[in-house]
Amino acid sequence: MIILRLDRMMADRKMSLNELAEHVGISNVNLSKIKTGKVSAIRFSTLSAICKALDCQPGDVLEYQPDPPEEG
């Protein structure tokens, strides 16, 4: 499972959703969906723009967590 840590990076950089959306060039609604993890995909161009605006690496925004083992 991939966890989005955009909220943490935005807080670290003291950047609001509106500011980041403006820098990235996407709507507040779409950025909010990314921030809350309600997306199943993100374009590399969007990820690149987020990293540029927040001066970070993709690994600062994305985190891999293994799925819990299935019981059964």
What CATH number is given to the structural domain containing 14? 1.10.260.40
DSSP codes, 1-69: -EEE-HHHHHHHTT--HHHHHHHHTS-HHHHHHHHTT--S---HHHHHHHHHHHT--HHHHEEE-PPPP
Q: Is residue 70 part of a domain?
A: no
pTM value surpassing 0.85: yes
pLDDT by residue (tens digit) across 14-68? 999 999 999 999 999 999 999 998 998 999 999 999 999 999 999 999 999 998 8
Distance from C-alpha of 1 to C-alpha of 13, rounded to nearest angstrom = 25
Assess if residue 71 is contained within a domain.
no
Does 11 fall in a domain?
yes
- Domain that residue 38 falls in: 2-64
Asked if residue 49 belongs to a domain, the reply is yes
User: Domain total for the chain?
Assistant: 1
**How far apart are the C-alpha atoms of 45 and 24, rounded to whole Å?**
9
Residue with the larger pLDDT of the pair 71 and 23: 23
